[in-house]
Amino acid sequence: ALPLVAICGRPNVGKSTLFNRLTDSRRSIVGDEPGITRDRIYGQIEWAGRDVRIVDTGGVVPDDEALIPSEIFRQAQVALEEADAVVMVVDGRTELASPDMELARLLLRGGKPTFLAVNKIDNVEMQNAAQNFRRLGFRNVMTISAEHGHGIGDLLDAVYEVL
Ligand code: GDP
Ligand code: MG
């Protein structure tokens, strides 16, 4: 089986935007797979000649803050079971919130390679915002703008190194 990378994080941080940017023209591969719940969306990408599967754990879950923490934690558990690497996405425009800390703790304990993607860093002036999120304890911290495509290549390079 191809290696699988899971995208985790609470609602509205930009998981689906990242997923869509990564999968790009390969949306046709996204779809239902047998035995897989519809709340996770799978895709396949090629990077530097390698095929990798990615999963948006946000799937079709409504962006309802009331789903925190149960749903994101349930998704994170599944991700830890099935994925070879996990990318946790946070919103770099917000303060570091307790659900982020709890999710980070769960993911870092999971024994899989983990990466923190501080998203919505749309310009260099915002780079400092990422510093707050270092407290989450990830060794690998990348700043990205899923919307504008910044930092995505570096993120992929770092993730692929552990697959
Ligand atoms: P999800 O709930 O984690 O899947 O988040 P979405 O991908 O649906 O994004 C939530 C909102 O954040 C949307 O309005 C996106 O357009 C916005 N967003 C996502 N990535 C970025 C980014 O890099 N920069 C900015 N400024 N907004 C973003
Ligand atoms: Mg989503």
Contact status, residue 43 vs residue 30, Cβ threshold 8 Å = yes
Residue 28 maps to which CATH number? 3.40.50.300
What would the pLDDT profile of 22-47 be if each residue is shown by its tens digit?
Answer: 987 444 334 444 444 456 788 899 98
40 lines ligand 1 (CB under 6 A): no
Q: Which of 7, 10, 12 to mutate to test the pocket of ligand 1 (most atoms within 8 A of CB)?
A: 12
* Mean pLDDT, rounded, for 117-127: 94
What would the pLDDT profile of 60-113 be if each residue is shown by its tens digit?
Answer: 555 555 555 677 788 889 899 999 999 999 999 999 988 899 999 999 999 999
Ligand 1 center to 1 CA (angstroms): 30
Distances (CA, A) of 111 to 72, 105, 108, 155: 18, 11, 7, 20
120 lines ligand 1 (CB under 6 A): yes
Q: How many domains does the chain have?
A: 1
Range of the domain at 81: 4-160
112 lines ligand 1 (CB under 6 A): no
Contact status, residue 56 vs residue 15, Cβ threshold 8 Å = yes
- The pLDDT, as a whole number, for residue 58 is 74
- The pLDDT, as a whole number, for residue 30 is 40
pLDDT band at 121 (very low <50, low <70, confident <90, very high): very high
- The pLDDT, as a whole number, for residue 140 is 96
| ipTM exceeding 0.95, yes/no | yes
Ligand 1: nearest atom to the Cα of 148: 23
Q: Is the peptide bond before 69 cis (omega within 30 degrees of 0)?
A: yes
- The pLDDT, as a whole number, for residue 39 is 67
Return d(Cα 112, Cα 99) in angstroms, integer.
Answer: 20
Return d(Cα 72, Cα 49) in angstroms, integer.
Answer: 32
